[in-house]
Structure 1
Amino acid sequence: MSSQTRFIKSVVAASKSDLPEMPWTRGRRRAAFIAKRSGAPLKKAA
């Protein structure tokens, strides 16, 4: 299987999935990275 065929198959499979993963659902590690990058203080969960 060529790389182009594999890529097209992965794109089609991703488009058929119900919901793509949204950036804000990726967890605390990503939130910490974004807060560090923007200089904003990180909110801690209660």
Structure 2
Amino acid sequence: MKTQSRFVKSVVAASKKDAPQMPWARGTRRAAFIAKRKGAPLKQAA
């Protein structure tokens, strides 16, 4: 399979998916990074 046709197929497949994951939906790992960057303590789940 040629590289270009493989690329086109991957683009078409990605466009047919529902929606890309939004940055704010990444969960606890991202929240920990933001808290560390801001210097705020991270809330721990009980």
Q: Same fold (TM over 0.5)?
A: yes
Which runs of no fewer than 5 residues in structure 1 stay unpaired?
Answer: none
Q: Which of the pair has more CA radius of gyration?
A: 2
Alpha-carbon RMSD across the aligned residues, in angstroms, is 2.2
| Aligned residue pair count | 45
Among all aligned residue pairs of Structure 1 and Structure 2, give the percentage whose two residues are the same amino acid.
Answer: 69
Deviations along 1:8-29, one digit per CA (max 9) or x if unpaired, are: 2112111111121111111101
Which runs of no fewer than 5 residues in structure 2 stay unpaired?
Answer: none
Structure 1 runs of 4+ with >4 Å offset: none
Deviations along 1:1-46, one digit per CA (max 9) or x if unpaired, are: 2333222211211111112111111110112112323x25255257
Q: Which residue of 2 aligns with 1:3?
A: 3
- TM-score normalised to the size of structure 1? 0.59
